């Protein structure tokens, strides 16, 4: 037993005093996360056989007000046609309140400008939409994984009240599994179900990604996802997500 203990101690001591070895192990973690991410993303790309690749790029800021309250501001640009056309841009503000260790509620207002055909069909214009949504979120640790569930109610309407067909209300259920670990990389997969009130389920969003902790306050998130239409024609595209988050 003493020899075994000495052997373990010597290995730990050797690791602490070998920066090159630590760096190698970090690289090993990066490779594992990188491989895991591509194993998750590649099947979605193959499934969608996307003729069009889109990009959703955004920046978010979260400010802690008290132990339970926090404020959030997010902006995002969405590109389509192989990232050559600005399809939409948006900005949102919201508040979140921590009910318990595992439960949280939040409310947001979002302004959206979407690229649409103009009335005489000769060109395009950006039309304004307003969205209000409220979330109820739950998280729980499952062995080495983390489970997150989010229930969302959202209502969206166009500034032009005559365009009633563009007004909609949804209930969304999102399920996510992530793998928190000692490295800077947290991979995850998620599925989001869209239920339009009055019409039923019409969309499912499947996503795989990785969250990278740059330091205590800054994070970068990379993801790949597809929207699967349950009603109507299927969109033949694959979306890349890139977001930068600041929390203080």
Could you list the residue range(s) of the whole structural domain that residue 15 is in? Answer: 5-40
- Which of 244, 186, 202, 238 lies closest to 46, judged by CA? 238
- Give the pTM: 0.80
Residue 220 shares a structural domain with residue 113: yes
- Which of 161, 134, 154 lies closest to 196, judged by CA? 154
The CATH number of the domain holding residue 169 is: 2.40.160.40
pLDDT, tens only, 59-96? 999 999 999 999 999 999 999 999 999 999 999 999 99
- Which of 42, 79, 33, 81 lies closest to 58, judged by CA? 79
Residue 134 shares a structural domain with residue 82: yes
Indicate the average pLDDT of the chain: 84
pLDDT, tens only, 48-68? 455 799 999 999 999 999 999
Instruction: Answer for the pair 118, 124: CB distance below 8 angstroms, yes or no.
Output: yes
45 contacts: CB under 8 Å, gap ≥ 6: 224, 238
pLDDT, tens only, 139-164? 999 989 999 999 999 999 887 655 55
Q: Which residues of 81-101 are buried (b: 16+ CB within 10 A; e: fewer)?
A: eeeeeebbbbebebebebeee
Residue 137 shares a structural domain with residue 60: yes
Domain count across the chain: 2
Q: Which residues of 11-43 are buried (b: 16+ CB within 10 A; e: fewer)?
A: eeeeeeeeeeeeeeeeeeeeeebeebbeebbee
């Amino acid at each position: 037993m003493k020899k075994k203990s000495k052997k373990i101690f010597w290995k730990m001591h050797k690791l602490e005093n070998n920066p090159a070895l630590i760096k190698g192990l970090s690289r090993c973690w990066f490779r594992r996360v990188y491989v895991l991410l591509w194993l998750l993303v590649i099947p979605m790309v193959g499934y969608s056989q996307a003729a069009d690749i889109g990009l959703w790029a955004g920046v978010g800021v979260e400010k802690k007000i008290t132990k339970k309250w926090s404020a959030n501001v997010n902006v995002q640009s969405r590109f389509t046609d192989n990232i050559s056309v600005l399809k939409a841009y948006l900005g949102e503000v919201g508040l979140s309140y921590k009910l318990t260790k595992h439960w949280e509620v939040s409310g947001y207002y979002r302004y959206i400008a979407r690229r649409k055909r103009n009335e005489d069909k000769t060109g395009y214009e950006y039309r304004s939409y307003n969205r209000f949504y409220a979330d109820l979120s739950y998280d729980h640790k499952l062995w080495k994984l983390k489970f997150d569930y989010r229930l969302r109610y959202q209502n969206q309407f166009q500034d032009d009240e005559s365009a009633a067909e563009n007004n909609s209300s949804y209930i969304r259920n999102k399920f996510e599994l992530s793998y928190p670990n000692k490295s800077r990389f947290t991979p995850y997969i998620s599925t989001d179900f869209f239920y339009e009130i009055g019409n039923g389920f019409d969309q499912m969003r499947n996503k795989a990604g990785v969250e990278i902790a740059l330091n205590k306050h800054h994070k970068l998130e990379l993801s790949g996802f597809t929207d699967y239409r349950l009603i109507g024609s299927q969109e033949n595209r694959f979306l890349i997500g890139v977001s930068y988050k600041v929390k203080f």
